[in-house]
Structure 1
């Protein structure tokens, strides 16, 4: 009999694995709705939906292994990183979904959220003021108008699966929607700057590196409190706080 593996679990959602089936339980029905619709619309390989009964969604495992993990070296080949870039470009060039997404928040709302988080990080002694101030300055470059694209919205390196040099699937689409294409690229390369050149080469378009670096700072600043409050460690080697330190 297959064992039940807890992939991730916190107060908002949980994902369990039993054999080749992933069971996602989410308190927010809208996130499951987005996940199913996004996978149906995406022009890249996605998991097969096996069944759905709110608040649960069962999907099939995709073959291969994750491109890597945040905080750990990626063993994927140069060609695999380039293939990931090509897949992301294909997604971004596809028809827009009819709903906004995580990467498409309004600039004013995003700036306000960023100011609140920066203030909290300093006021509670979580991070030094100079580190927060410097990364807040870097993040400013991301706060500009962009042309909406079909974005994954949470394109962490662990969400892209490869078999050799080929992309076999992209998982976890609950944050998908219309947004800034560079947010996806920045999220995928977060903590793996050594592979950024291969990723961008596969993407095959001009990439504003200042904006991409800005998204690294912005995403990390916004994420530290959430990660701490949900039982994760942004201070682990190679993770969000190290990304912020690299901008100094």
Structure 2
């Protein structure tokens, strides 16, 4: 049996640290996106290290990385804090998201979707119909509705066949309160209108009605931003800027195939 030379060990250790650091960065980013770390919250190295079961070294690197990505801000002699966003900034990002996902819908319609892609989208739509059919939204509807919503948006994005566009959309959406993982479930009428949009945009994509698909998706995402903006301007909604966990922001794991079957 061949033994690894001693010279290989430093490289192996370096690779292990790099992998662990990336994992910590990804987990910490998700804690911010899903609202578990509140906007403006002080993010302490020791707390994160204990929470994730790692040493402080990868945590320190992860904090620096997330600050460079705009998720955190660093204040000298005070440390790292989750970046706070005002309503104008959130709407700016929603406008970008609307433009990008509108482009995705147009590209999917231009390219045409496969029968398999159509089947996945239709199963998602049918799941949304089932959830909303009873006329109200219950707490235990949140997880399946999230899966349905993300499944539709991800399905359309994947149907473009454009990896660069998909990555750009995901980078833009990885911000608190902005992604398709956020569900403003308190307002059933908003949910109903949103799901009606799902029907219309998928119908347009299947029909290869390029500009209709693009227009519907733009309105769909931008209206979601307007609904969130209006909610944030209420007394209850203002607290979301301090504690976004009060919004139904839940994580999505598309890579695991977590779509309605």
Q: Larger relative CO (CA 8 A, sep 6+): 1 or 2?
A: 2
Q: Which has the larger radius of gyration?
A: 2
Structure with greater strand share of residues: 1
TM-score range normalised by the length of the shorter chain: under 0.3
TM-score (norm 1): 0.27
